[in-house]
Amino acid sequence: MKEILIISGKGGAGKTSLCAAFAVLAGNSVLVDCDVDASDLHLLLKPDVRETHAFVAGLAPVVDTSLCTRCGECVEVCRFDAFRVGEGDFAVIDESACEGCGVCASFCPAHAIRMTPRLCGEWYESFTARGTMFHAKLLPGGENSGKLVAEIRRAARTYAGESGAERILLDGPPGIGCPVISAMTGVDLAVVVTEPTVSGLHDLNRTLELARQFEIDCAVVLNKADLNREMAARTRNFCTERGVDVIGEIPFDPLFNQALREGKTMADYPESVSGRRIAELWETISKKGNRTC
């Protein structure tokens, strides 16, 4: 069983559109949307949720008003201005401002504040026409996005092993932060989607450097390759110098936007130029072996 991650150094490069198309072409795969902060793979794959699980991470303070002496110490010591004096002079917590550090509980002279597990989001096991999908939603202000990514990846691996799936296909978060690290760790191949722009090349470099740190085999897809031929050439040269394969190029195609509006993927347009390129890309990706670096 192989794990293939589709990733990009920035949002808007076409990562999710490609991942959705690959999901159509793959067959016998388990799907994971690792972009827990702003997931959108479900918009194209239309999952039917079968199971919902709470994601509890970090701690949040709770005030016991029967013990609170209304001394205001919590208001004074909180450096995030998460406490204020409410009705009856009792301490009131602004959960959106609280960082869960626990200083308030440590300094409360009446021991009226206790730290309790915080609900930070939910994750789901869902049915789609393209395979079972694991995805999640981090609540606004929720923390530990990397931990949430790790949790849905573990669930996907368990399900894939039990069901005999050939591969796990992951739609990664943008950037190089904690959720990206969590999504990338241990995969067999990271397919990095980039664009022929200065910022695209910069973000590609950061993503490849991150993958190198974790010894992850990478391949590059150049999307909208014909919009800036000079930058496309620079990107190809950059990859060649670093020993990274550019396994395919996709031209700019307004059909992408049409497909998004209709809730379809480019695999639903197999006769189009982009549809054929994406099918060729998937053929190349599916034949690549395990990690080599």
Torsion-angle region of 141 (φ positive above 0: left; ψ -120 to 50: alpha; else: beta): left
Asked if residue 279 belongs to a domain, the reply is: yes
pLDDT for 244 equals: 95
Q: How much of the chain, in percent, has pLDDT values that exceed 70?
A: 98
Same domain, 170 and 248: yes
192 and 98 part of one domain: no
Could you tell me if residue 46 is inside a domain?
yes
| Paired tokens of 106 | 């440590």
As a whole number of angstroms, the distance between CA 167 and CA 156 comes to: 10
In terms of DSSP H, where are the helices of the chain? Answer: 15-26, 41-45, 73-77, 103-107, 145-163, 178-184, 198-213, 229-241, 255-261, 273-287
What's the whole-number mean pLDDT along residues 13-38? Answer: 91
Report d(CA 38, CA 63) in Å as an integer.
32
Spatial contact of 121 and 148, defined as CB atoms under 8 Å apart = yes
Q: Is residue 142 part of a domain?
A: yes
Asked whether residue 254 is domain-assigned, the answer is: yes
Q: What is the pLDDT of residues 162-208, one digit of tens each?
A: 999 989 999 999 989 999 999 999 999 999 999 999 999 999 999 99
Host domain of residue 209 = 2-56+128-287
Residue 163's domain is classified under what CATH number?
3.40.50.300
Residue 291 has pLDDT above 50, yes or no: no
Q: Is residue 121 part of a domain?
A: no
> Is the same domain home to 136 and 101?
no
Residue 290 pLDDT: 44
Q: Is there a single domain that holds both residue 99 and residue 202?
A: no
HSE, CB side, 13 Å, CA atoms: give it for residue 15: 30
Report pLDDT for 292.
38
The single-letter code of the amino acid at 154 is R
This prediction's pTM = 0.87
Mean pLDDT for the chain?
91
Q: What is the CATH number of the domain that holds 87?
A: 3.30.70.20
- State what percent of residues in the chain have pLDDT above 90: 69
pLDDT at 256 over 90: no
Do 252 and 229 meet the contact criterion of CB atoms below 8 Å apart? no
Could you identify the residue written with the tokens 């695999």?
A: 267
Identify whether residues 151 and 197 lie together within a single domain: yes
> 181 and 75, same structural domain?
no
Same domain, 36 and 180: yes
More confident residue, 103 or 286: 103
* Pair (153, 217) in one structural domain: yes
Within a domain: residue 83?
yes
Residues 8 and 143 in one domain: yes
Q: What does the alpha-carbon distance between residue 44 and residue 41 come to, in Å, rounded to a whole number?
A: 6
Spell out the residues 6+ positions from residue 158 whose beta carbon is closer than 8 angstroms to its own.
none
Shared-domain flag, residues 28 and 168? yes
In this predicted structure, the answer to whether residue 12 has a pLDDT above a threshold of 90 is no
**Total domains present in the chain:** 2
Q: For 57-96, write each residue's pLDDT tens digit.
A: 889 999 998 999 989 899 999 999 999 887 777 888 988 8
* Three-state DSSP state, 75: helix
Do residues 42 and 133 both lie within one domain?
yes
Answer yes or no: do 181 and 102 share one domain.
no
Please report, as a single letter, which amino acid is at residue 266: M
User: Is residue 119 one of the residues assigned to a domain?
Assistant: no
Dihedral over alpha carbons 133, 136, 137, 139 (to 10 degrees): 170
Domain-embedded: residue 275: yes
